Amino acid sequence: MKLNDFFKLSVDEQVETVSKGDFLGEREAKPYLIFLFNIENFYAEIFYDELKNKITRVKPFKAVRILEPYLEKVNIEKLF
């Protein structure tokens, strides 16, 4: 799927599409739990609002710099 096609989907369809991708990680930014997925040729974050107990946003992107908050959690000690 191309990113332009993804933007045309409803939020429910976006969530369904993203959840079929590869889960890469998660982070917390209160009140959200944010889940990162890889979908073919782009990434997407799903924002889950813990207070409202629902998904409130899907943020697709290609910019690698947005991955930075997730890199802090990558443990590379076993590589050495």
Q: What's the confidence (pLDDT) of residue 76?
A: 56
**What's the pTM?**
0.85
CATH number at residue 21: 3.10.450
For the chain, 80 residues long, give each residue's pLDDT as a single digit of tens: 889 999 999 999 999 999 999 999 999 999 999 999 999 889 999 999 999 999 999 999 999 888 888 887 766 566 66
Count of structural domains, the chain? 1
Domain boundaries, position 25: 3-79
Q: What's the confidence (pLDDT) of residue 32?
A: 96
Distance CA 62, CA 39 (A): 10
